[in-house]
Amino acid sequence: MKKGVKLLTISAAIALFSVATGTIATSVVDASTSEESKQEAKTDEKASIRLAKAGYVFRLNHDATISLKAHQAAHLPKAEVEKLVNDQVLFKVDQVSSLRNGVQVHIVDQTGQAKGWVNIVSDLSNVNAQKKILKKLIKAELKVMDYCDIMQMKSAKKQLKKVTKLADQVKDPEERAIAKTSVKELKKWMGQLEYKDIPALLIGLYPRY
């Protein structure tokens, strides 16, 4: 029997057995999908370190979902998450993971007991964004990001100059440090335009939809 005919016969036999049992084809697909996920999910060390430096400044949004593992469906019971929200528990981010177009971050509270993976865009907010003295700066920063979203980079760079001046005007040393860090992170984001690089201060505020 010729090699090509032999391969065709074997393939046909496997296909018939798969249809009959419903097992072989399924297991192959599952293994391939699992391996693909492992290859595509990436931990960003620089982004992880950057957000960890922000400290315990993040709170869960009311509709947050906490996954047990990054980019997987299994998650904490809704009642447990609601309790964390109602108790206004503060978290820090210690790991950033990207998979295709999605970015999840690993959060942990100060006791180390409450932890899990959440969506960087929809599940968290930074408590420092509520500081009145930083409101004008934040509004200006978001305008920079809006310009970048529609690829008006010239307008974005012009707006960035206003942001820098606003940061320089912050008097309080602690809040000034937050403002300066945010401007630095915004410049980094402008060069990448990726969710993993969203300034810590603006997490929960961008994108605006």
Question: pLDDT digit string (tens) for 121-162?
Answer: 999 999 999 999 999 999 999 999 999 999 999 999 999 999
Domain extent, residue 31, equals: 3-40
Instruction: Check whether residue 124 and residue 136 sit in a common domain.
Output: no
- Which of 128, 158, 180 represents a domain boundary (last residue)? 128
Tokens of 138: 């934040």
Backbone angles phi, psi at 89, to 5 degrees: -65, 135
Return the pLDDT at 101.
65
pTM of the predicted model as reported, rounded to 2 decimal places:
0.80
34 and 65 within one domain: no
CA 49, distance to chain mean position in Å, is 14
